[in-house]
Structure 1
Amino acid sequence: MRIALFITCVNDTMFPDTGRAVVTVLERLGHTVDFPQEQTCCGQMHINTGYRTDAVPLMARFARAFAGYDAVVTPSASCAGLVREHHPALAEEYGPPQLRRQVAELAPRVHEFTEFLTDVLAVEDVGARFPHRVTYHPTCHSLRGLRLGDRPQRLLRAVKDLDLVELPGADSCCGFGGTFALKNAETSGAMLADKVGAVLGTGAEFLCTVDNSCLMHIGGGLSRRSAPVRTVHLAEILASTEGGRR
């Protein structure tokens, strides 16, 4: 199987360890992972803010960069959802016939990391060890868009020595929502305060998600309260094998 890593803008610029963790896990499972150098943004920011035509060249570049791969894996539910749900519609609206065909063929092969492990590779125990108390926040795109269900939790429960505790009100949005947090700062802040309070109530050492954008938002709220909870992408937990580190 030819597998490519789609790292995403946020992870590339701010959380590179997450991409490395994805590769670590997949290589541990016996797979080779390519990183197409041509990849850039998938166009999520443009589409979400109404600049749909500006996203077309990015969509076309994405289709070229990942053409020929059996699977494209990304540690971002929001970007995976964008490519699968919005690229085909965008191509139908603005793209020439060849691009429409390319996008339609590629989109179903794009997978968020945890669904790739559980659904495509049929793996839950990836040989990880993380001896810490952890709580999991299901991000809006993972919960309502991709409908990941309990896939992330199943992977976490299979991690040796990990104590997984339920997050109260887990299905509530953290208040990030991309530009929502900028345009509606007070509302976003109130939602974040509720989420931070719920996280602290678990007594967890670590909070994890499958989207670093939301993790960054919640992590900022935790930091401003000098909370003792650290944030980590789920992929980095799965890459860990000893003492909480890879």
Structure 2
Amino acid sequence: MNVNIYVTCIADVVKSGVAKNTVLLLEKLGCNVIFLEKQGCCGQPALNSGYTKQALAGMKNLVETFEANDYPIVAPAGSCVYAIKNYAEVFQREGESQWAARAEKVANRFHDLTDFIVNVLGVTNVGAALPGRAVYHPSCSLFRKLGIVNEPITLLENVKGLQLLPIHNQQTCCGFGGTFSVKMAEISGEMVKEKVEHINEAEPEYLIGADVSCLINIGGRLHREGSKIKVMHIAEVLMQGE
């Protein structure tokens, strides 16, 4: 199957290993991965901050880029996927009805990595192995906005040797929320502090998530506290071998 990868800015700039492992994982599962070089930022930071008009040019570029073919588009970040799936509504509000129609067609082809593996490829066990105890953090974008709840958990439950541990208030936001963590820094700081307290109570060896931004936020707090818990994106976990 031919598949486009949407790398996302944060993976490209901060966590290139996530993008690399996403490609390797898709190839392992039999996909021919295509990277369209004109892709850019989805505009989420601007959209979330209310700068809609300033985001339109980048949004149009992304839509136009992925119109180059009709293959599925896979991204290792639920927040970016959710932003793109709202393009049509944004364009419509700005009186750009033609772009809204084009955006909707592109958005319908976008998938979070775990959603694509489980629901499109029909795979629940990728043959990964990672011995140890882990906590999974369900990001708000993936869990609340996209409704992707069981897919990442199913994939992790089938990782040989990995024990998933429940924590108190597991589905509570980590406090990142994009610009929220900047504008409401004190509240955000208390939220991630509480999240880390619950993670520490479980005494895991790994913290796993499917959104890089959340992992950076929680991982930053863990690092400041001197924690030895290893923070991993699910793409990295699923590429671990026996």
Task: Calculate the TM-score normalised by the size of structure 2.
Answer: 0.96
Contact map agreement 2:25 2:238 (CA 8 A) in 1: yes
Distance 2:202 2:158 in 1: 20
State the partner residue of 1:78: 79
Contact map agreement 1:6 1:39 (CA 8 A) in 2: yes
Q: CA deviation at 1:108?
A: 0.9
Which AA in structure 2 matches 1:114? T
Contact map agreement 1:3 1:69 (CA 8 A) in 2: no
State the partner residue of 1:172: 172
Q: CA deviation at 1:239?
A: 1.2
Choose 170-179 or 93-102, whichever is displaced more: 93-102
Aligned sequence identity (%):
36
State the partner residue of 2:44: 44
Q: CA deviation at 1:185?
A: 1.2
Contact map agreement 1:77 1:146 (CA 8 A) in 2: yes
Q: CA deviation at 1:97?
A: 4.6
Which AA in structure 2 matches 1:156? L
Q: CA deviation at 1:66?
A: 1.1
Which AA in structure 1 matches 2:84? V
Contact map agreement 1:56 1:95 (CA 8 A) in 2: no
Structure 1 residue runs of 4 or more that deviate by more than 2 Å after TM superposition: 93-101
Contact map agreement 1:206 1:232 (CA 8 A) in 2: yes
State the partner residue of 1:103: 103
Q: CA deviation at 1:158?
A: 0.7
Q: CA deviation at 1:93?
A: 2.5
Distance 2:26 2:72 in 1: 12
State the partner residue of 1:57: 57
Q: CA deviation at 1:98?
A: 3.8
Deviation string for 1:87-121 (max 9, x for gaps)? 01122223645423221211111001001111111
1:234 and 2:234 correspond? yes
State the partner residue of 1:191: 191
Q: CA deviation at 1:69?
A: 3.1
Q: CA deviation at 1:165?
A: 1.1
Aligned Cα root-mean-square deviation (Å): 1.2
Which AA in structure 1 matches 2:198? A
5 Å-filtered alignment, 1:1-246, equals 1-67=1-67, 68-84=69-85, 86-94=86-94, 96-242=96-242
Number of residues paired by the alignment?
241
Distance 1:142 1:185 in 2: 23
Distance 2:189 2:99 in 1: 41
Q: 5+ residue gaps in structure 2?
A: none
Task: Calculate the TM-score normalised by the size of structure 1.
Answer: 0.95
Deviation string for 1:16-69 (max 9, x for gaps)? 110111111111111110111001100000100000011111111111111123
CA shift in 2, pair 1:3/1:202, >3 Å: same
Distance 2:96 2:187 in 1: 41
CA shift in 2, pair 1:177/1:96, >3 Å: closer
Distance 1:109 1:95 in 2: 23
Distance 2:110 2:54 in 1: 22
Deviation string for 1:137-189 (max 9, x for gaps)? 10111111011111111000011111111122111111111111111111111
Q: 5+ residue gaps in structure 1?
A: none
Contact map agreement 2:3 2:74 (CA 8 A) in 1: yes
Which AA in structure 2 matches 1:102? R
